[in-house]
């Protein structure tokens, strides 16, 4: 819309229809309960306005994020941003806490494999070759109000990692969306193509989204750190973490939403394969991150947990909503802090895992969707309307790729993401 209409549109919005919620990443439409009926609108949140001029004679990147609403202004059941807002309010209501979150993304350039392999991982050479891109991206992110922390040449073929500073609640997910769009926008200026595809090839590494989170009270004081507890995880932090792990199989299809997501979530891929809490273990679903500092106040402010079973095919709003609902449930039920694993779980049989309260995560999207469908917690947290729409959406997508080989699926999703 014209910029001059932005303030007006905050009240009138942009037209939308319910069935749009069922458009898959391949532009198919799932079995819609809405058909051609209904009218909605997207109400832009002007606080999220991005206006980045790359100063290269191309049009500025100018957009903002909005909420999908009914004509009376109430939230549409499948508006992912509104779903997250509800989860944030629930945590506040139940425990008087607020989440502090950062989404850490990995992505790859779509370039020639032979050329890629000449660039060593974590090398100065890799950074020099991407220096113009990296500096332009960092400047664009800053112009959009984000706080880029680093730009890292990762292990994978022409793979980079982009951590950004923390934000509270919904704003953290907004920042994840803005980052993805500005990565793509920057790539266009360099005649490059980037992909957030969860896995590019069967013999390659994956691209994850690591969600770092901590909890604060309503005065902004951290509550997850306790120097007297094992691994410094406080009692309320332990209950929150226990809930995240307890219900992980039931919401995994929200955080790992592609058929190929499950090629990445396997042992020894440095992702996540079990519902475990680890310390300094990059194969745990939840990792207690190391912190530094001269005193407990400094350490408490930096203490955080990393969720590793997500990728960028997932809506950051749904990822964070699932974590908050599950963690809040853990607090409501006063779940005990899980034991921290320090061994290779792939070497243990199912019986041994079960005795320790551990299990292998669903190993396919179909299996994860079955867990999602059976879950009464998903119904309670997200509502029946959203649950049905999400199942229809993902099953339509699966029908599109199920006859393809894993290699063909990786290639197809790579073109989309």
> What residues does each domain of the chain span?
3-416
pTM here? 0.95
**Dihedral Cα 385, 417, 412, 399, nearest 10 deg:** 0
State the pLDDT at residue 118: 58
Q: Which of 75, 270, 45 is nearest to 177 (CA)?
A: 45
| The 3-state secondary structure of 167-187, one letter per residue | EECHHHHHHHHHHHHHHHHHH
State the pLDDT at residue 112: 57
How far apart, in whole angstroms, are the C-alpha atoms of residue 191 and residue 187?
6
Decide yes or no: CATH 3.30.590.10 for domain 3-416. Answer: yes
State the pLDDT at residue 10: 63
State the pLDDT at residue 293: 77
Is beta strand 277-279 parallel, antiparallel or unpaired with respect to 340-341? Answer: parallel
Position of tokens 């350490």? Answer: 299
State the pLDDT at residue 127: 85
List beta partners, residue 41: 15, 69
- Cβ neighbours for 190, distance < 8 A, ≥ 6 positions apart: 132, 133, 136
State the pLDDT at residue 397: 96
Q: Give every residue of the chain whose pLDDT is below 50, as ranges.
A: 114, 116
Q: Are 262 and 363 in contact (CB under 8 A)?
A: yes
State the pLDDT at residue 23: 96
Q: Are 291 and 233 in contact (CB under 8 A)?
A: no
């Amino acid at each position: 819309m014209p910029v001059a209409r932005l303030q007006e549109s905050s009240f009138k919005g942009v037209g939308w229809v319910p069935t749009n919620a069922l458009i898959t990443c391949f532009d198919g439409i799932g079995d819609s309960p809405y058909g051609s009926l209904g009218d909605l609108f997207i109400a832009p949140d002007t606080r999220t306005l991005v206006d980045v001029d790359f100063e290269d004679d191309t049009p500025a990147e100018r957009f903002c994020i909005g909420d999908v609403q009914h004509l009376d202004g109430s939230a549409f059941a499948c508006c992912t941003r509104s779903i997250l807002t509800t989860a944030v309010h629930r945590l506040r209501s139940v425990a008087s806490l607020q989440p502090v979150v950062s989404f850490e993304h990995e992505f790859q350039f779509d370039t020639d494999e032979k050329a890629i392999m000449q660039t060593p991982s974590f090398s100065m050479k890799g950074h020099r070759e991407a220096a113009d891109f990296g500096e332009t991206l960092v400047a664009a992110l800053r112009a959009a109000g984000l706080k880029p922390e680093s730009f890292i040449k990762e292990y994978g073929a022409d793979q980079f990692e982009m951590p950004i500073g923390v934000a509270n609640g919904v704003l953290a997910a907004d920042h994840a969306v803005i980052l993805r769009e500005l990565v793509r926008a920057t790539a266009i200026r360099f005649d490059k193509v980037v992909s957030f595809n969860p896995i590019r090839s069967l013999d390659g590494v994956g691209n994850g989204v690591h969600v770092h989170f901590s909890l604060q009270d309503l005065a902004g004081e951290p509550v997850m750190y306790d120097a007297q507890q094992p691994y410094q995880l406080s009692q309320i932090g332990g209950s929150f973490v226990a809930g995240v792990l307890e219900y992980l199989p039931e919401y995994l299809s929200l955080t790992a939403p592609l058929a190929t997501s499950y090629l990445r979530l396997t042992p020894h891929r440095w992702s996540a394969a079990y519902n475990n809490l680890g310390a300094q273990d990059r194969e745990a679903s939840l990792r207690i991150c190391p912190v530094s500092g001269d005193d407990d106040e400094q350490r408490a402010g930096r203490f955080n947990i990393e969720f590793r079973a997500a990728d960028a095919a997932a809506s950051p709003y749904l990822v964070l909503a699932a974590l908050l609902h599950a963690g809040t449930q853990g607090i409501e039920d006063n779940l005990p802090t899980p034991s921290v694993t320090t061994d290779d779980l792939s070497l243990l049989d199912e019986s041994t895992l079960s005795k320790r309260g551990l299990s292998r995560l669903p190993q396919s999207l179909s299996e994860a969707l079955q867990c999602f469908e059976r879950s009464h917690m998903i119904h309670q947290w997200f509502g029946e309307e959203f649950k049905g729409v999400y199942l229809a959406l993902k099953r339509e997508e699966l029908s599109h790729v199920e006859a393809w080989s894993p290699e063909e699926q990786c290639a197809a999703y790579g073109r989309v993401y």
